[in-house]
Amino acid sequence: MNRTLTLVRRRLLTALPVLLIVVCATFLLLEAAPGDAVDAYILSSGGGDAELIAKLRIEWGLDQSAVSRLGVYVWSLLHGDLGWSVLFGRPISSVILERLPTTLLLMTGAIALSFFLGTSLGIVAGARPGSIQDRLLSIGSLILYAIPGFWLGLVLAIIFAVHLRWLPSAGIESIASGKHGMARVLDIARHLVLPVVSLGMIYLALYIRMMRTGMAEAWRQDFVRGLRARGLPRAIIVRRIVRNALLPLVTMLGVQCAAMLGGSVVIESVFAVPGFGRLAHEAVSARDTPLLLGVILSSAVLVILVNLVVDAVYAWLDPRIGSTGASA
Amino acid sequence: MILNLVRTPEGFVGTILLGLLTVWALVAPWAYPGDPLSIAGPALLPPWTDWSLPLGTDRLGRNIAAGLMYGARTSMIVGLAAAGTAILLGLLVGVAAGFIGGVVDETLMRITDAFQTVPGFLLALAFVSVVGPSLPVVVLAIALGTWPPPARIARAEVLSLRERDFVAAARSIGMRPVEIAFREVLPNALPPVLALSSVIVAAAILIEAALSFLGLGDPNRVTWGGMISEGRTVLRTAPWLSIFPGIALVTAVLGVYLTGEGVVEAHARREMLL
């Protein structure tokens, strides 16, 4: 446990400069955007004279140099203040906190689906490399890997929502259904089926391929040759191989987090899910740049946190990681 | 090399798909001269009803077949240009970090970390929305999110190469460090980085499609993602408007992947023979 804590502390220390770079880069992007907060305010409040504009610029500190404004920006970020969203007329942090749980639910569902189904199918393929089921799964996963999630979502919506009418095609729950408790949970689950499948399929393909490759490599390793030479049943050998090939997949979970957050932008737009990803699209459509940067910053924090958890789990699973001060 | 590539099953199917797509993209100006964004017939004509408009028309009466052809051009240009930019950028950063080392290495790698921490698609979205959608901006936006993996691989490669004898030899005959980095180390670090190119091209095509699906593609060009997005409004009555460009996308990405796998496979076979 002590070993895991040391690793987590070391990772947090390297995460700080990374976060600072992200903050500076997003600030640069904010500077590059045409117009500033005053322009956005004047536009949304229906105009104002030059005197008011000049007064607001001084009041909001926009007449200061870029360096001092970066200082103010970092200072307010340290206090958890991401700024004000013109689009929602609310603090950005409260909008983001409201939207985040939906997307986390969506991502958890997609990761669970792709990880468990993907590794299972990968085990089926990797148990006998070169067999018919291995070839079929390889071709299938390759095709799946080439399908853009948002298009898959649309096709699934045509089939399951328009023609078969089995599942709802938009939103996160039925509007004004008045459902409570278990009925509401089931309602949300039904709404999440299509988005989760559309978001998860590309990673399903990835996990099938990684698991299959890992197992195919393991068959050639000495310890497996040894087990086979000792005449152990195939089922037991496969189980040993699975355990070995599964470990690297855990680290992939952390890497996938960033990609999946990006993917949720399109998927949530397709299915009108009011989540964090759709917020990014709304910010772009409404040209609310501070909101967009808040979304980017909080997604970076989220990615760092998820990777930290994955690293800790990995260190706990594999005693070789972080046991000496030199590694990682 | 090409013969070896075609002999592998992946390479065979992949090169055929890519070849068809290239021809499809190249003949567009002859098959359908004029602006593919202009009106060509009645609106929402179903496919296979009029031989001059084989795949039908969209909501505004624009020719779907022409759109798919010109869309192939956009996808291929963006895919190749973005992957090229990303690999070039990654090589520069990776070689600089690995060769110079020390504080430069540390700084460059933290910047690489930062770019990998922010979801690439969000970064592309923000960049295009701030700078404004046009083809070069989209290319740059995609490259911004895809350069870190080549940078990491180039750095790792340079770190192992810089200790080799031929680098020491170059140093002893008085070559300048910049010269050694670019003329001796870089060419040797290239192959493993280039092995990533098919994955990056495929990712770039998919990111471009997603961007234009969200309305952030170049408005003066036909894009498959844009076509899928426009078809969405009439998804219930005319699903083919969204389905055709999606099939084109899958074909293109699959062609790129398969060709990439074929190259790896052909290379492995040649290694075995040697």
Scanning every residue of chain B, which has its alpha carbon at the shortest distance from the alpha carbon of A257? B119
pTM of structure: 0.89
Confidence of residue B274 (pLDDT cuts 50, 70, 90): low
Whole-angstrom distance, CA of residue A214 vs CA of residue A193: 30
For A11, the token pair is: 């990772």
Judge: B122–A265 Cβ closer than 8 Å, yes or no.
Answer: yes
Residue B62 has phi, psi (to 5 degrees) of -90, 145
Distance between CA B117 and CA A19 in Å, rounded? 9
A146–B253 C-beta distance less than 8 A:
yes
Q: Which residues of A, range 247-306, sit inside 8 Å of B by Cβ?
A: 258-259, 261-263, 265-266, 269, 280-281, 284-285, 287, 289, 292-293, 295-296, 299-300, 303-304
For the domain bounded by B2-26+65-269, which CATH number is listed?
1.10.3720.10
The whole-angstrom separation of Cα B201 and Cα B86 is 10
B122/A147 touch (CB, cutoff 8 Å), yes or no: no
CB contact under 8 A, B250 and A162: no
Cα distance between residue A286 and residue A301, in whole Å: 24
User: With pLDDT > 70 as the criterion, what percentage of chain B qualifies?
Assistant: 98
The per-residue pLDDT for range A242-284, each reduced to its tens digit, is 888 887 888 788 778 888 888 999 999 999 899 898 999 998 8
ipTM for the assembly: 0.87
B214 to A151: CB separation less than 8 angstroms, yes or no: no
Tell me the pLDDT tens digit for each residue of B174-192: 888 888 888 888 888 888 8
Q: Give strand pairing partners of B39.
A: B62
Predicted confidence (pLDDT) at residue A325 exceeds the cutoff of 60: no
Within an 8 Å CB–CB cutoff, is residue B9 touching chain A? no
Partners of residue A216 in chain B, C-beta under 8 Å: none
Give chain B positions within 8 Å (CB) of A280: 122, 125
Residue B105 has a pLDDT of 93
Give the minimum alpha-carbon distance from A103 to chain B in angstroms, rounded to a whole number.
14
| Rounded Cα distance, A247 and A176, in Å | 45
Contact between A267 and A273 (Cβ < 8 Å) = yes
* Residue partners of B87: CB distance under 8 A and separation at least 6: B147, B150, B193, B194, B196, B197, B200
From the number of C-beta atoms within 10 Å of its C-beta (0-12, 13-18, 19+), residue B151 rates as: buried
Whole-angstrom Cα distance, residue B126 to residue A290? 11
* pLDDT value at A221 more than 90: no
Three state DSSP letters for A21-72? HHHHHHHHHHHHCCCCHHHHHHHHHCCCCHHHHHHHHHHCCCCCCHHHHHHH
Cβ–Cβ gap A259/B246 under 8 Å: no
Contact across the interface for B122 and A29, Cβ inside 8 Å: no
CA distance A210 to B219: 38
Bridge partner residues of A310 (DSSP) = none
The pLDDT of residue A326 is 40
b/e sequence B116-149, b meaning 16+ C-beta within 10 Å: bbbbbbbbbbbbbbbbebebebbbbbbbbbbbbb
Across the range A89-117, mean pLDDT stands at 91
Mark out the alpha helices in B101-147 (DSSP H runs).
Answer: 102-117, 120-131, 135-146
Closest CA to A127 of A207, A119, B262: A119
A91: which strand partners? A84
Residue B189 DSSP class: H
Tokens of B159: 């770190």
Q: What does the angle CA A111 – CA A112 – CA A115 come to, to the nearest 5 degrees?
A: 75
Q: Considering only B43-52, B54-63, B84-93, B199-208, which range has the smallest mean pLDDT? A: B43-52
Task: Note the pLDDT of residue B109.
Answer: 92
Inter-chain residue contact B130 with A265, CB threshold 8 Å: no
The one-letter amino acid at B263: V
Kind and range of the H or E element at A85?
strand A84-85
* Among B residues 88-117, those touching chain A with beta carbons less than 8 Å apart: 110-111, 113-114, 116-117
Buried b (16+ CB within 10 A) or exposed e, B174-184: eeeeeebbeeb
CB-count burial class (<10 Å; 0-12, 13-18, 19+) for B173: exposed
Q: What is the C-alpha separation between B11 and B21, in angstroms, rounded?
A: 15
* Cα B116 versus chain centre, distance: 18
Confidence at residue B170, expressed as pLDDT on a 0 to 100 scale: 87
- Average pLDDT over every residue of B58-66: 81
Comparing A74-78, A155-159, A174-178, A292-296, the range with the smallest average pLDDT is A174-178
Whether A324 shows a pLDDT value over 60: the answer reads no
Which candidate, A326, A315, A327, A317, places its Cα nearest to that of A3?
A: A315
> At how many degrees (to 10) do helices B240-273 and B197-213 cross?
170
pLDDT band for position A40 (50/70/90)?
A: low
Instruction: Identify the pLDDT of residue B264.
Output: 82
- Could you tell me if A294 and A93 are in contact, meaning their C-beta atoms sit under 8 angstroms apart? yes
In 3D space, the residue among B210, B220, B196 whose CA is nearest the CA of residue B142 turns out to be: B210
Q: Which among A182-191, A286-295, B122-131 has the top mean pLDDT?
A: B122-131
Q: Is A322 in CB contact (< 8 Å) with chain B?
A: no
> Which residues have a Cβ under 8 Å from the Cβ of A236 and sit 6 or more positions away?
A227
* Tokens (6 digits) for A120: 């299972």
Q: How far B212 CA lies from chain A's nearest CA (Å)?
A: 11
Q: Best interface-test mutation with A: which of B122, B256, B261 has the largest number of A CBs within 10 A?
A: B122
CB-based contact B122 A295, cutoff 8 Å: yes
- C-alpha span between B238 and B245 (Å, rounded): 13
Whose CA is closest to A266, among B211, B146, B242?
B211
Answer whether B117 sits within 8 Å of A157, measured CB to CB: no
Does B200 contact chain A (CB < 8 Å)?
no
| B270 at interface of A, judged by CB pairs closer than 8 A | no
> By the 8 A CB rule, do A263 and A198 touch?
no
Q: Is A188 on the interface with B (CB under 8 A)?
A: no
Q: Which residues pair with A291 in a beta bridge?
A: none
Between A and B, how many CB-CB pairs are < 8 A?
Answer: 126
For A294-328, the DSSP string reads HHHHHHHHHHHHHHHHHHHHHHHH-TTTTSSTT--
Considering only CB atoms, which chain A residues are within 8 Å of B260?
A: none
Angle (deg, nearest 10), helices B9-26 and B240-273:
130
pLDDT at A179 over 80: no
| Residue A165 dihedral angles phi and psi, to the nearest 5° | 55, 35
Q: Residues A104-152: pLDDT tens digits?
A: 999 999 999 999 999 999 988 888 888 888 888 988 898 998 999 999 9
As a whole number, mean pLDDT of residues B111-117 equals 91
d(CA B151, CA B155): 6
Q: Is the pLDDT of residue A318 over 80?
A: no
Residue B213 CA to its chain's centroid (Å): 17
Which of A79-93, A175-189, A276-290 has the lowest average pLDDT? A175-189
Q: What's the pLDDT band for B266 if we cut at 50, 70, 90?
A: confident
> Model confidence at B207, in pLDDT bands (50, 70, 90)?
very high
CA–CA dist A307, B53 (Å, integer): 51
pLDDT value for A198? 92
Least confident of A74-78, B44-48, B196-200: B44-48
**What's the pLDDT score for residue A120?**
92
* Per-residue model confidence (pLDDT) at position A89: 82
Report yes or no: B13 at the A interface, CB cutoff 8 Å.
no
pLDDT at B191: 84
What Cα–Cα distance (Å) separates residue A23 from each residue in A20, A91, B238?
5, 18, 45
| pLDDT, position A103 | 92
Range among B12-26, B136-150, B156-170 rated most confident: B136-150
Taking an 8 Å cut-off on Cβ atoms, the answer to whether A259 and B123 are in contact is no
Give buried/exposed letters for A217-248 (b at 16+ CB in 10 A, else e). ebbeeeebeebeeeeeeeeebbeebbeebbee
- Quote the tokens at residue A265: 């932008």
User: d(Cα A146, Cα B203) in Å, to the nearest integer?
Assistant: 9
CA-nearest of B167, B169, B170 to B159 is B167
Percent of chain B past pLDDT 90, that is, above it, reads: 40
Please check whether residue A146 touches B, CB under 8 A. yes
